[in-house]
Structure 1
């Protein structure tokens, strides 16, 4: 709902601040039926999937369990509109739908950080970034949440100038406009609540090497300390060992892959640095209280897709 509202409101405010109907939008769903967000709020829509005008922009807004909502009629509609040269974008997990339709092949794109592990495994022809939003030709994508605001402010600025975009941002009380060069996640020091350069360096190394884990000795060497110093550093600031922290990062990625892809449990284990499926299953159960095989039955309800179009 947040991604959706943050896409619509800047357009409404652009009309209000300019005193002109610069943009209009139509809400659509696959069947024309109302659309419910994951928080239970439902929206009436204007139509089912329409034939759009040549200058329209189609935006697909996705949420939890987007795979289940990515239907054949929706994919066919997107491919048809893409063949006609339309600009098409994905808000939050809507980028998954575009990728499934083949509309992001050879393109740069982004998606919510929680979905990036599965996206990278499924769509190797897409240049996935960690940016807040991406504009690559006539393909748009956002990371979700408030990043829809940043994308819309960029489009408004391109269409009608920075002054109008800044006026819209002021109305939204949005004081820090982000660009496509900004990362969607908080910095490592902010996330862990510790500003220690060597600790941040080691964690960054861990996060970048989940499939082929680096030994504590090598991590310590690259950070310019002994293994014992590394151990003390993690115990002091994170109340756990480097090995335990590394394991939690790998298991978190494994959980994302299990929930978001059709990869076999064995392949998920390998992608997260576990050579033995039995060891993977044992570690997973210890962390999450269930086995990898049972985890796939706990996915959330499917979202819906909507399309918005500026005039």
Structure 2
């Protein structure tokens, strides 16, 4: 008697306008390779949208999609793929469709900002998940009880989420490994000259030591403390004590490496975070000021205008909030693209 062939797993990708092509390609290409390298087709891919038609990515190209309501009855897993500001996606019919799929037992996932869309509408409650680091603070403000992790990807029971970009590739390889074995997943990864599959727990961003080219352990410790105390800034004395040196020694290290004082560097670090939140979230200025350690909106606005040459309200108005189509400002040549000011702007 002829053995019946197992049908391929049905995986849908719900594309929201302005999604990042890199994130989507990183998710679908490992599945395509698995189909090519495997003994039979392992995955069937469906591209879906709120309504049928062409859905453009952040670079203009895109896919012709079927309507979500027409999703196949045998759909196994649906990924929401979102870029720009996912907090602005509020289509009642789309959310209704996602909830229906959840009730049917379809597993749900989010790529880049996709998990933020799911979380905002109650579809990530009680599950661990991750999202692109740009959206973490805003999500935590909206719903402090969410189980957000700063990981590359998180697979928790029936939820698959990743931070976007090439993290989608690592998540798909992990999924392939769980279903078809680690050796086959490595074969897929090698196909793309991706010799090391990253683990879920690896960080989304460069460690401060690598980002700022730090080689002194005391300086590295101080900068790491700063990056984890944006909303509640530590004093120079606290930073020095926790880093294992005197305030004077630490001031000298900052002057030698960054060409500025501890307070100047710390303030600029907080202002850069504020700029991210301005351009990529809809949080009010008062909340952004609080999240970046400024006592008042007025003080925050003065410091911001002095650093960037424009007030925060205008920066937001002229920026990319909600669109996600414009690239971020070009980095300066230095690893620390910040200016100091003769007028000290303290907390």
TM-score using structure 1 length: 0.92
How far residue 238 of structure 1 moved from its aligned partner, in angstroms, is 1.8
Instruction: Give the aligned length.
Output: 304
How far residue 300 of structure 1 moved from its aligned partner, in angstroms, is 4.8
Distance 1:108 1:259, change over 3 A: same
Asked if 1:157 is matched to 2:206, the reply is no
Asked if 1:265 is matched to 2:307, the reply is no
Distance 1:30 1:303 in 2: 19
**Which residue is 2:332 aligned to?**
none
Asked if 1:19 is matched to 2:39, the reply is yes
How far residue 201 of structure 1 moved from its aligned partner, in angstroms, is 0.8
In structure 2, runs of 5+ residues without a counterpart are: 1-20, 326-347
Q: Which stretch shifts more, 186-195 or 88-97? A: 186-195
How far residue 133 of structure 1 moved from its aligned partner, in angstroms, is 0.3
Q: 1:203 is paired with a residue of what secondary structure?
A: helix
How far residue 289 of structure 1 moved from its aligned partner, in angstroms, is 2.3
Distance 2:323 2:241 in 1: 46
How far residue 114 of structure 1 moved from its aligned partner, in angstroms, is 2.3
**Which residue is 2:339 aligned to?**
none
Asked if 1:208 is matched to 2:228, the reply is yes
The Cα offsets for residues 191-230 of structure 1, whole Å up to 9 and x where unpaired, read as 1112221111111111111111110011112212121211
1:102 corresponds to which of 119, 122, 132: 122
How far residue 135 of structure 1 moved from its aligned partner, in angstroms, is 0.6
Poorly superposed stretches of 4+, deviation over 4 Å = none
What is the Cα-based RMSD across aligned positions, in Å? 1.9
Partners of 2:87 and 2:120 within 8 A in 1: no
Asked if 1:174 is matched to 2:194, the reply is yes
User: Higher strand fraction: Structure 1 or Structure 2?
Assistant: 2
Distance 1:39 1:47, change over 3 A: same
Partners of 1:254 and 1:269 within 8 A in 2: yes
Alignment of 1:26-37 (within 5 A): 26-37=46-57
Partners of 1:115 and 1:260 within 8 A in 2: yes
TM-score using structure 2 length: 0.83
Alignment of 1:70-81 (within 5 A): 70-81=90-101
Alignment of 1:190-209 (within 5 A): 190-209=210-229
User: Higher helix fraction: Structure 1 or Structure 2?
Assistant: 1
**Which residue is 2:18 aligned to?**
none
Larger RCO of the pair (alpha carbons < 8 Å, separation 6+): 1
Partners of 1:64 and 1:300 within 8 A in 2: yes
The Cα offsets for residues 89-122 of structure 1, whole Å up to 9 and x where unpaired, read as 0001111111112111222111112222222222
